[in-house]
Chains A and B, each alone.
Chain A
């Protein structure tokens, strides 16, 4: 079992001293190599769930185990390392470092940990997303679709156990979105990577092996 979520709750304190329960009793198991789509309306808690899986936030209660390890029990430092090794994240807004070239953006997570052949692997990753000829371009010289492809390359270059994608095509027009989605799924298929995809695009969700709907804080 790669990921195991049990009775997961997440609530946020409100300004008026109450709280909102965004996630209520979430249970989920994901096996290695699976592709899972989470769909739901805006504000239903998809990103919140993703942030817990990525260890960017802590749950209110319940357990969340990745590779047999309880994420909530890790120290901040341990978690950072664990994330760097096991989790790749793709954001809706791409989030490339504006002052680094495409190649440098992709090699960044490798370089940060002193990987010797970061250059070679980053080039491979860019080749995989079909952007070899864009290596030396800066983010502002890339289109939205190209930017997201660079971001995908950056997420997979560390060969994480699981890829978390939060509405990766949400900021792209339809045609480009389909193109990027194709690329993402091809990549996942060829590498056998595990994918958790958050989207409200049904078409994209259906390309995953499993679909879950988040509503009122739980899976329906």
Chain B
């Protein structure tokens, strides 16, 4: 016996699908809608990666940068550059954050001093001057001493072109504004707009010696064939052998700079991806439901095939072909839909995107879509496929001798869900780039489904009970229908409840955060934040403020240090290259940081000891005992430090030993100066420090007044207007929430499509029954009412439980991540329940209105 031609089964599969157009269309549309968001997001990410990869040199403005927080002397620089190829070009750049003032106002900016060669890649484009040429920089910045500013500074400082700004000890005329420049940070965040000066001019501001953090950067352009990896390796080796501050010189390649830039967007993308995944999931539930019914109706044809000599494997193959075809088709449609979503995403995420970014659909996204479509639909329908086992050609001979369902064992049922769980888990880990976030997400989703499923089950049982006692016939029938058609009802319920859960979860979490930080007269949130106060300036500053009837709060010293050893062994701060998960990235960033130490007698009211004991009062150098430190709980966890560890810090080249005696929890959103590492008093007092402090309870004009006052008197002190910053952050997070919500709406759409297809399908399946009711005297309106009751019951309960679960989850998330910022906005909850119920009824009405009108005459005709 031979095998059929290779096209036989796919052809047969396609024929069957075409013959069941309605099913095929619903399946396709349903799945496509679910996939579309996910695929749009994938293309978006790909485009971003491609963009960053292509423009990495432009982002840094060079191939490689050496960054140090102290000036690198010539000898050291020569040592480092000795390995560079002959024709390497180099230029220097100095940046610092400082306050600048116009006549009226002051604002925190990033001042950058550049030389004429800047930038090696990309362009510096000015509003008037156009693309900047080397000699133009020399003439205007170096020789004339002009300043070029970011356009937003015109309004922030209330100056016009030709006006001037005071930076440190010097005033600079503003002659032009910057339209585009190489930037390794997201400038459009606008937290600290940039000002360009000539390199020699920044020296004249007098700020370099007074600022705690100035970044000295040497930029290089290498000949084309230079191998950067090798070069970076040798550089790092050399730097490791330096001592003191020079051992902290950082090597930044253009690739790395692009990565850093992409990271912020990356985090947001991760979460968007997870939300989009829920849409995929909802669509999957719908697809599985549709397929289940389709399959049951195909049993007879499968039996015929088997009686003609097809094996069970072959019938499986036929069905797999159909799923594959449908999945691929859905993927193709979803690609088309995603083309519509992409530009929307671009608009929604505008704030976070690098300049000149354009989305495009690339091949890898297309392939991904196809694979996800076909594999995904297979995996989702696998639990349903096990039913093929109960196909028996024998039934063809005993059409009317009842049902002999083959019992599929509980085990194989459970097992058939395994691929689904694994796939979702893989997808969400891959989406979130994090094992923890991904696993938590899938865990939560499963838990939500489990809880909601159980609840749905309970409600259906309850409906069954009601159907026995309810006096009204129509109601009784509605309740009985719900109970009878459990699979459909539970699928509808899950789709609606999950959608509601999602839509509520995001704003609910956000609401809490917003409530907390936007409260304008909250005494806990300071108005101004001051840093870089020099020790000798402190008294003077306090006197001035006292004259104005206000005072500095939370004055905290800050000492910079490095962690050298833990329990006597060298602390490893660098991982290998090629970190891929977000946790690794974050941890790496964490460990490389220079640490800020502080000391304090008592904990502030935003702190709480969770492990260990209070720090001892004053340290006595003669006691011979160990100095004591307190660590922030999560900081300790990330750094891999425990209670009782012995830490050796390098404080300006002086080794300081200390023992960890407690771990603290800190409410960071209190906006008080808080530190990861707190020493007991008496240890660090002699070390060079700067001071941080805050001013509270100021309205807008007073904020401006004090800001100007401080800047005029102490040019090196930086002042952040906290209220304004919070507003900006809120604006940015508003956008994030909007983007997340958009994805969430996409998933409730998917949920509604599920309801639509299930409602329609149910009614069609029950058609002769409904017609019988009509023959027996039920009015059209009665039947419609019955359907409406069914879906209203589903909608109300799905709404209530979806919202309820979202409250519980958001509370959990708020408690876990945001230190308990949670507030119940009952209006949203109420609106959600009402909305879901209405939508559910409306969609069911839409889905069934034509079918319900079919005349009972069909009873006589149909076979």
Chain A bound to chain B: yes
Band of interface residues on A: 20 to 34
| Closest beta carbon of chain A to B311's beta carbon, Å | 5
Q: Are B309 and A83 in contact (CB under 8 A)?
A: yes
**Closest Cβ of chain A: how far from B21's Cβ, in Å?**
11
Proximity string of chain A (42-66) to chain B, C-beta cutoff 8 Å, 1 when within and 0 when not: 0000011011001011000000000
Contact B308 A84 (CB under 8 A): yes
21 A-B pairs with C-beta separation under 8 A: A56-B393, A77-B311, A80-B309, A80-B311, A83-B307, A83-B309, A84-B308, A93-B399, A95-B300, A97-B304, A97-B305, A99-B15, A99-B19, A99-B20, A100-B15, A109-B308, A111-B8, A112-B310, A112-B314, A113-B4, A158-B309
Q: Are A56 and B397 in contact (CB under 8 A)?
A: yes
Q: Is A98 an interface residue (CB 8 A)?
A: yes
- Give chain A residues whose Cβ lies under 8 Å from the Cβ of B392: 56
Cβ-defined partner of A76 (8 Å) among B307, B308, B312:
B312
Cβ of A145 to closest chain B Cβ, rounded Å:
16
B394 at the interface (CB under 8 A from A): yes
Would you call A50 and B397 a contact (CB within 8 A)? yes
User: A56 CA to B396 CA in the complex, in Å?
Assistant: 10
Hey, what's the 0/1 contact readout for A90-114 against B, CB within 8 Å counting as 1?
0101011111100000001101111
A77–B310 Cα gap in the complex (Å)? 9
Q: How far is the CB of A43 from chain B (nearest CB, A)?
A: 9
The minimal Cβ–Cβ distance linking A15 to chain B, given in whole angstroms, is 10
| B contact residues around A76 at 8 Å (CB) | 311-312
Q: Which of B304, B306, B314 has the most CB of A within 10 A?
A: B304
Chain B 1-23 near chain A by CB (<8 Å), digits 1 or 0: 11111001000000110111000
Q: Within 8 Å of chain A (Cβ to Cβ): is B850?
A: no
Name B5's closest neighbour in chain A (CB-CB).
Answer: A114
B4/A114 in contact, CB under 8 A: yes
Known contacts A100-B15, A109-B309, A111-B8; A95 and B304 CB within 8 A of each other: yes
Contact of B19 among A84, A98, A113, A166 (CB under 8 A): A98
Contacting residues, chain A, for B5 (C-beta < 8 A): 111, 114
Within the assembled complex, what's the spacing in Å between the Cα atoms of A80 and B16?
Answer: 23
> What residue of chain A has the Cβ atom nearest to residue B303's Cβ?
A95
A120-177 contacts to B, CB under 8 A, are 154, 158, 166
Q: Chain B contacts of A100 at CB under 8 A?
A: 15
Given A51-B398, A56-B393, A108-B305, 15 more A-B residue pairs with CB atoms under 8 Å apart are: A47-B397, A57-B394, A80-B311, A84-B309, A85-B309, A93-B396, A97-B301, A97-B304, A99-B16, A99-B19, A112-B310, A113-B3, A114-B3, A114-B5, A158-B309
Determine the distance from Cα of A17 to Cα of B178 in the docked complex, in whole angstroms.
Answer: 89
Chain B residues closer than 8 Å to A84, beta-carbon distance: 1, 308-309
Q: Given the complex, which residues of B lie within 8 Å of A111, measured CB to CB?
A: 4-5, 8
Chain B residues packing against A (C-beta within 8 Å): 1-5, 8, 15-16, 18-20, 300-301, 303-312, 314, 392-394, 396-399
By the criterion CB–CB under 8 Å, are B2 and A113 in contact? yes
Complex contact B396–A80 (CB within 8 A) = no
Interface status of A89 (Cβ within 8 A of chain B)? yes
> Given that A80-B310, A99-B19 are known contacts, is A85 also in contact with B1, CB under 8 Å in the complex?
yes
Determine whether A69 belongs to the interface, using a CB cutoff of 8 Å to chain B.
no
Contact A81 B309 (CB under 8 A): yes
Q: What is the chain B residue whose CB lies nearest that of A114?
A: B2
Quick one: which of A48, A50, A108 contacts B308, CB cutoff 8 A? A108
- Give the residue name and chain of the B residue nearest to A100 (CB): B15
Residue from B305, B309, B399 with most neighbouring chain A CB atoms (10 Å): B309
Q: Compute how far the CA of A109 lies from the CA of B314 in the bound complex, rounded to whole angstroms.
A: 13
Chain B residues whose CB sits within 8 angstroms of the CB of A93 once the complex forms: 396, 399
Min CB gap A141→B, angstroms: 13
Given contacts A56-B393, A95-B300, A98-B19, contact A112 B398 (CB under 8 A): no
Nearest A-chain residue to B307, judged by Cβ = A89
A112 to B8, CA, bound (A): 7
> Closest 3 CB pairs between A and B?
A84-B309, A99-B19, A114-B2
Residues of A within 8 A of B398 (CB): 47-48, 51
Kindly list chain B residues whose C-beta atoms are within 8 Å of the C-beta of A77.
311
Complex CA–CA separation, A113 to B308 (angstroms): 10
Docked CA distance A99–B294 (Å) = 14
Given contacts A47-B397, A56-B393, A91-B396, whether A154 and B1 have CB atoms under 8 Å apart is no
Greatest chain B CB density within 10 A among A76, A85, A112 is at A112
Whether B306 pairs with A80 at a CB distance below 8 angstroms is yes
User: Do B1 and A166 touch across chains, with their CB atoms under 8 A apart?
Assistant: no
Residues of A within 8 Å of B307, CB to CB, are 54, 56, 83, 89, 95
| Bound: A102/B394 CA distance, A | 23
A154 to B308, CA, bound (A): 9
Complex Cα distance, B783 from A167, in Å, reads 41
Residues of A within 8 A of B310 (CB): 80, 112
Report Cα–Cα, A144/B578, bound state, in Å. Answer: 71
CA distance A76 to B393 in the complex (A): 13
Contacts A81-B309, A97-B301, A99-B15 given; indicate if A91 touches B397 (C-beta within 8 A): yes
Residue on B with the closest CB to A80? B311
List B contacts of A158 (CB < 8 A): 309
Q: Give the docked Cα–Cα distance between A111 and B2 (Å).
A: 10
**Which residue among A57, A76, A83, A113 has the maximum number of chain B CB atoms within 10 Å of its CB?**
A113
Cross-chain contact of B397 among A80, A85, A98, A166 (Cβ < 8 A) = A166
A190 to B590, alpha carbons, bound, how many Å?
90
Residue numbers in A under 8 Å from B396 (CB-CB): 56, 91, 93, 95
Question: Bound state CA distance, A51 and B401, in angstroms?
Answer: 14
B395 shortest CB reach to chain A, Å: 9
Closest to A47 in B: B397
Cα distance, A51 to B303, chains bound together (Å): 13
Residues of A within 8 A of B19 (CB): 98-99
CA distance A191 to B393 in the complex (A): 27
A83 to B309, CA, bound (A): 6
With a cutoff of 8 Å between Cβ atoms, the chain B residues found around residue A112 in the complex are: 4, 8, 305, 308-310, 314
With the chains together, A96 CA to B4 CA distance in Å? 20
